[in-house]
Amino acid sequence: MTFYTYNYLHTSQGNWQYARVIIISILVIVFMIFMIHYLRNQLDVKYKDLSIIVGTLLLLILAMQYNDFSAMQSATKQTGQITAVVKESAARLKVAPRRVSINSTSQNANLMIRTPKGFYRIDYNADGTQFILEKVSLHDPSKVTIKGGF
């Protein structure tokens, strides 16, 4: 069973988004440079061809970005909900949030948390707005792996 620390959940939300923005920015700058060279030297068609290639690549990446935008928003929202659950659980158990890890990066029905005080199962009420913590003991706690470290 894999548990994710609060720090892992908090820092892994936006790393790939920054890389995409950087790639798109570089492509826009390269596209503008090629277009300026083509407009200055209209008889030299290599800049026109390079502009078309870079522009097509830019449009392709922008289309993929738009396609993944809703998926990223959903994932960010779920990770934000999970970090809120970790914070609330840490407050209830009087433990620092960095010492708490959870077994999922999205909100589902079988959430468990690991703290220095032991393992706890999270039981939600019928409408999913509140939860209680129930202490549990694992059959084989040696098979627990933690991503993000304490």
pLDDT in tens, the chain (150 residues): 788 887 777 776 556 677 777 888 888 898 888 888 888 888 778 888 888 898 898 888 888 777 777 666 666 666 677 788 888 888 999 999 888 888 877 776 688 888 888 899 988 888 877 888 889 988 877 778 787 765
d(C-alpha 148, C-alpha 15), whole Å: 15
What dihedral angle (degrees, nearest 10) is formed by the CA atoms of 91, 93, 95, 96? -30
d(C-alpha 138, C-alpha 136), whole Å: 7
Q: Considering only CA atoms, which of 59, 67, 80, 62 is closest in space to residue 9?
A: 80
Q: Report pLDDT for 111.
A: 86
Q: Report pLDDT for 12.
A: 62
Q: Report pLDDT for 109.
A: 66
